[in-house]
Amino acid sequence: MANEKETTRVEAFSDGVFAIAITLLVLEIKVPKSEEHMNNGQLFTSLIDLWPSYFAFLLSFIAVLIMWINHHGFFKYLKTINSKFLYANGFLLLMVTFIPFPTAVLAEYINSSAANISSAFYCGTMVLISIAYNILWFTAGYKRALVRDEISDSLIIKIRNAYWFGFFVYLASFIISFFHAISGLLICISLWIFWVLLDYSKMGIKPQTGNPHKHL
């Protein structure tokens, strides 16, 4: 199970799951029901009142997009995959497909007296996703099991530390949500900036340098 085609197929399957999960998010936004004769003003108000749904949609869209970009960068470090990696990746996909649910809960309750639990539920999902990424990197980077030869040991440690850092920040956002929902969410969002900066393409690996297939 250690050839290029294999890796490509797992990547394609994961991409499919990411693409579907990100597109299903919109189903969470419910059309305001026209119980009686609604006029323009009332529809306008109804659409504005849906702001928690738009907010949750935007939040999760960006989260899944960043996860996809990182997942993508991840695979560029691998020379091969094994069964352990396959199951670790499966756990990550499990959490990714789950995202529409905490998103819908957040949309429904962030502007209510149950805001804390909805925020904690959302941030808690992110904690689990963060654990999934840590496990995934562990299966790839531990004893250099699956990483390409040109990846330096220091880079492996750098990435590991970045994922651990992410875990602790998500954990903090989860705990803080119980006391102040919006603060918890803001910490959760702040991490996105971190993930964007973690962009693999900037982490010092020049793919295929000195490679005969230079332009592929």
Answer whether 101's CB lies under 8 Å from 109's CB.
Answer: no
Residue 38 or 156 having the CB closest to its own copies: 38
CB 200, min distance to its own copies, A: 8
One-letter amino acid identity for 117?
I
Q: Which of 29, 190, 192, 177 is nearest to 100 (CA)?
A: 29
Distance CA 167, CA 214 (A): 37
By CB under 8 A, the residues from 118 to 177 that bind its own copies are: 118, 121
- Considering only 148, 179, 194, 207, the residue that binds its own copies (CB under 8 A) is 207
**Closer residue to its own copies (CB): 58 or 153:** 58
Question: For residues 83-122, which are near its own copies according to CB under 8 A?
Answer: 83, 86, 90, 93-94, 97-101, 104-105, 108-109, 112-118, 121
Going 5 to 78 to 73 to 203, the CA torsion angle's sign is negative
Residue 23 vs 152, nearer CB to its own copies: 23
HEC string of 5-60 equals: HHHHHHHHHHHHHHHHHHHHHHHHCCCCCCCCCCCHHHHHHHHHHCHHHHHHHHHH
Output 32 or 189, the one with its CB closest to its own copies.
Answer: 32
The neighbour count for residue 148, using CB atoms within 10 Å, is 13
Q: Which of residues 54-73 bind its own copies (CB under 8 A)?
A: 57-58, 61-62, 65, 68-69, 72
Rounded to a whole number of angstroms, the CA Rg of the chain reads 20
- Tell me which residue of 160, 98, 104 sits closest to 125, measured CA to CA: 98
Give the residue, chosen from 7, 21, 78, 140, that forms a contact with its own copies under the rule CB under 8 A.
21
Q: How is residue 79 written in tokens?
A: 């020379």
Residue ranges binding its own copies (CB under 8 A)? 1, 3-5, 9, 11-13, 15-27, 29, 31-32, 34, 37-40, 42-44, 47, 57-58, 61-62, 65, 68-69, 72, 83, 86, 90, 93-94, 97-101, 104-105, 108-109, 112-118, 121, 199, 201-202, 207-208, 215-216
